[in-house]
Amino acid sequence: MKLSPVKRLVLETMWGLDKSAKAVEIAEEVGLGFPSVMMHIIGLTRMGYVMTPEKGRYIITEKGEKALGFPEISGEKAQQILEYLPAEKSFHFYADVGKPLNVFAANLQDFCDKILKVDISSIEFHTDRGDFEAWFTAIGDIELGRKTLLIKERRLSGEELRNRIYETVNHRYEELLKLRQAAVSSNQTRI
pTM: 0.78
Which domains, from first to last, does the chain contain? 5-67 (1.10.10.10), 75-188 (no CATH)
**Cβ–Cβ < 8 Å for 115, 168:** no
pLDDT of residue 24: 93
Q: What is the pLDDT of residue 74?
A: 86
Per-residue confidence (pLDDT) for residue 1, from 0 to 100: 60
The pLDDT value given to residue 189:
56
What's the confidence (pLDDT) of residue 80? 92
| Cβ count within 10 A of residue 146 | 18
All residue ranges of the chain with pLDDT < 50 are: none
How far is residue 11's CA from residue 120's CA, in Å, rounded to a whole number? 30
What was the pLDDT predicted at 191?
Answer: 54
Q: How far apart are CA 105 and CA 112, in angstroms?
A: 8
pLDDT digits (tens, 9 = 90+) for 73-122: 888 899 999 999 999 999 999 999 999 999 999 999 999 999 999 999 99
Burial class (CB in 10 A: 0-12, 13-18, 19+), 72: exposed
Cβ 118 vs Cβ 103: under 8 Å: yes
The helix or strand, by DSSP H or E, that contains position 129, with its residue range, turns out to be helix 120-129
Whether 41 contacts 52, CB under 8 Å: no
Side-chain half-sphere exposure of 45, counting CA atoms within 13 A: 14
